[in-house]
Structure 1
Amino acid sequence: MNSTIQHARIHCFDFPRDRIIGDSQISSSHVWIGALELFDSNGMKGLGFFQSLSAPLPDASFISALFSQQCLPKMRNRTPEGLIHQLSRPRGGNIQPLPYHLDQAIDQALWDLAAKRVNQPLYQFFGGTKNKVKAYGSGVCYHMTDQQVFDFYSAATKHNFSGYKVKVGHPDIERDIARLQLVTDAVGTTPLLMVDANEAWSPKEAIRRIRAFENAGFPIYWVEDPILRHDTRGLIEMKAALKDTYINAGEYLNLAGKKALVDNDAADVINIHGDFSGAHKIAWLCAEKGISVSLGNTPMELGAHIASALPETLYTEHSMLNWDDIVAKPFVIENGHIVLPDTPGHGLSLCPTAIKELSPSIAESR
């Protein structure tokens, strides 16, 4: 098949969240998410997603103009297969990240389109064999009230997750402990308990907090992003001090930053996200050293496809976010696992009703 990339369509969605989500550093009450559809010369399309947490996305015409100027000229008349396997070394002014994670949307859409062109589910195209991947429940609950936290995690137990993650990092340690108690009251003591501080602590404070959680009766399976992302020495200190708690890090780091964690044995689990091509690379390095990986939140749980194919994958995060409202058929959760569709590509398509009611702007890039 030699059909090539020709044009794109941009959608920008704007609607309220069904709950306030956030962590020790940020909160969000609105879904500002965009969709990128890439079309080849046969009319087949791939779909990817970009987003903003802190402010509304600009009009789709702005994103489309940006895409037309900086991205499409390098992609037009190229195959998606060639683009996802292309190696390049940006130099000088070319080293500029695209806003709103648009680069991840491009990567997702190219992989989706490439898998569709060979009529394979994306997880199989990645090399995976399992159409179910283990997930943990995550409330992204830092700014929710106590009652909202209890109600959310109680409702989440219907999915039979084997682990649950709680946002911590409050200045008052007793508030963190109270949150752990609320979640344990809701889900029971059998599931694993993870915490995520979103870089709220210093290394010594992180060690003190985890020990305090344990002394209060809450064994912690992993602590995620406890300290500043580039503090490799601090992560190593934590890893040595907390023998029974995994250190999960890397969410905020690029490929080079994640590689530094691997090279320095600075984390027990490397957190990878929605960049499929980058995830492949870092997972290969992790597999070489027997280091586990986890998939953090990815739009519509797309990361579950790559989780199926990667060795050493522990968990994929599922936060039951209502950004799923923009797709026709969200992934199903079955007995604590995300079920991947056995249809070509990643199996997600935009919901026509959502396009009509929740997408105030649409634009074409040609």
Structure 2
Amino acid sequence: MTANAIDGFRITRFAFARDRVIGDSQVRSDATHVAAIELVDGSGRSGLGFCQTLFTPMPDQDEVTRIFASEAWPALEGREPAALALRVNRVRGGNVRRMSLPFEEALQHATWDLFAQQMDLPLWKMLGAERPEVGVYASGLDYHLSDHDFAELFGRAAERGFRGFKIKVGHPDIGRDLHRLNLLRQVTGGARPVMIDSNEAWSAQETIDALKLFKREGHSIYWMEDPIPREDFDGLRMIRQLGLTRVNAGEYLDLTGKRRLLEARACDMLNVHGQVSDVMRAGWLANEANVEVTLGNSFLEIGLNMAAALPGVRWLEYSFQNFDHLVEQPFKIDNGLIRAHDMPGHGLKLSQAARQHHARPSLETGIAAAPASVSVA
């Protein structure tokens, strides 16, 4: 086995209360359940990724480790990170399935992190980026917030210089959506772009009616995100052709679905998220179609590395989720720009304080690991 081959892993499970209820027109969440996955090579370098269950508690640490060892580890042990990162699988039959826990994105992050460390390059540079910074917009995940909390969140975002603001819409009472837009204008000054996201709450006609109402009331919407069900390409294309706003879509589609969306000419912007290999491939497809790419939420903004590398990407989503204490150095945001680290890899390292000092899970006491990190070598 070579010094670059993966020969061990560590898993640390965390559970902690969110600092606010997050959600949209379809879902809500007030707790975080996370496992940090570290892949270790023969030289002792470790690549980091995070696995998160959004709406249900994660099993205890022993069970998370058992599932990982059974379902993920056999395809990793003894492999070179470069080979895992760059491979193209032939997906057929029984190998087209999800794992029992959502390890997929964590494995891409950890694998690419380790690959870039072995190349002694920051991930964004290894992916071809020439710039370390990307514009960032404030995304509230605010559907369930009171007006007071909504105003405080976006007021602080405006003071910090975020370059745009995205709010959740899709309420059964369209008047409530209009009220939130009015409130957003009051607390931010109305000079920066405003995006809206209904998370597929509407039909195509309801989307058109809502956009016309917002326009009559003086609101210029920079983009409308995922207004209707993800595979209604005809409806998305109809909305787009009316030119009321930009259509930003693709969040819920896999790579094949994103290709079909682009082929249907049904979006002005393609929304991608965290999986490094898939994001770069989707970016290539979007570039071929001359469609702008936007980077949605990725855990602790790891997607910054891909956003910096893809041509023409202007936006990274930032949602004020209380995850920063999990890592030693979160990415810094200043004057509406988020800046990548210069260290080899994606730039995030698991906090030793988080790993060592929170041995029992508790949603009342903040961050906690359960019961302790498990290492396999």
Shorter-chain TM-score above 0.5 = yes
Q: Deviations over 1:153-175 (max 9, x none)?
A: 11112321121000000000000
CA positional deviation for 1:215: 1.0
Letter of the 1:363 counterpart: V
Map 1:193-342 onto structure 2 (within 5 A): 193-241=194-242, 243-342=243-342
CA positional deviation for 1:59: 1.4
In structure 2, distance between residues paired with 1:219 and 1:37: 44
CA positional deviation for 1:90: 2.2
Aligned-pair Cα RMSD in Å: 1.2
In structure 2, distance between residues paired with 1:153 and 1:315: 17
Q: 1:232 to 1:125 in 2, by over 3 A?
A: same
Alignment of 1:119 with 2:120, yes or no, is yes
Q: Deviations over 1:257-299 (max 9, x none)?
A: 1111111111111110010100011100111121001111100
State the partner residue of 2:7. 6
State the partner residue of 2:362. none
Letter of the 2:13 counterpart: C
Q: Which moved more, 1:92-101 or 1:201-210?
A: 92-101
Q: Which moved more, 1:124-133 or 1:57-66?
A: 57-66
CA positional deviation for 1:213: 1.1
In structure 2, distance between residues paired with 1:211 and 1:292: 24
Q: Deviations over 1:121-145 (max 9, x none)?
A: 1110111111111110111100000
In structure 1, distance between residues paired with 2:78 and 2:280: 25
State the partner residue of 1:343. 343
In structure 2, distance between residues paired with 1:141 and 1:248: 19
In structure 2, distance between residues paired with 1:90 and 1:56: 30
Verify the 8 A CA contact 1:221 1:244 in the aligned structure 2. no
Letter of the 1:229 counterpart: R
In structure 2, distance between residues paired with 1:67 and 1:15: 22
Q: 1:230 to 1:99 in 2, by over 3 A?
A: farther
Letter of the 2:369 counterpart: S
Q: 1:153 to 1:99 in 2, by over 3 A?
A: farther
Verify the 8 A CA contact 2:3 2:41 in the aligned structure 1. no
Verify the 8 A CA contact 1:134 1:337 in the aligned structure 2. yes
Q: Deviations over 1:213-270 (max 9, x none)?
A: 11111110001010001111111111112x1411011111100011111111111111
Verify the 8 A CA contact 1:4 1:78 in the aligned structure 2. yes
For structure 1, which runs of at least 5 residues remain unmatched after alignment? none
How many percent of aligned residue pairs carry the same amino acid?
Answer: 39
State the partner residue of 2:56. 55
In structure 2, distance between residues paired with 1:11 and 1:272: 27
In structure 2, distance between residues paired with 1:227 and 1:244: 15
SS at match of 1:221: strand
Letter of the 2:63 counterpart: F
Letter of the 1:364 counterpart: S
Q: How many residues are paired up?
A: 365
SS at match of 2:37: strand
Verify the 8 A CA contact 1:300 1:324 in the aligned structure 2. yes
In structure 2, distance between residues paired with 1:152 and 1:276: 30
SS at match of 1:8: strand
CA positional deviation for 1:195: 0.2
Verify the 8 A CA contact 1:236 1:265 in the aligned structure 2. yes
State the partner residue of 1:363. 374
Map 1:36-75 onto structure 2 (within 5 A): 36-75=37-76
In structure 2, distance between residues paired with 1:99 and 1:183: 40
State the partner residue of 2:105. 104
Q: 1:99 to 1:262 in 2, by over 3 A?
A: farther
In structure 2, distance between residues paired with 1:100 and 1:276: 19
In structure 2, distance between residues paired with 1:2 and 1:227: 49
In structure 1, distance between residues paired with 2:79 and 2:52: 26
CA positional deviation for 1:7: 1.4
SS at match of 2:128: coil
Letter of the 2:178 counterpart: I
SS at match of 1:109: helix
Q: 1:365 to 1:238 in 2, by over 3 A?
A: farther
Verify the 8 A CA contact 2:24 2:169 in the aligned structure 1. yes
In structure 2, distance between residues paired with 1:139 and 1:363: 34
In structure 1, distance between residues paired with 2:66 and 2:92: 23
State the partner residue of 1:191. 192
SS at match of 1:314: coil
Verify the 8 A CA contact 2:4 2:118 in the aligned structure 1. no
SS at match of 2:221: coil
Verify the 8 A CA contact 2:136 2:337 in the aligned structure 1. yes
Verify the 8 A CA contact 1:64 1:364 in the aligned structure 2. no
CA positional deviation for 1:99: 4.2
Q: Deviations over 1:78-119 (max 9, x none)?
A: 110011111111221211112443101000001101111111
Alignment of 1:137 with 2:147, yes or no, is no
State the partner residue of 1:353. 353
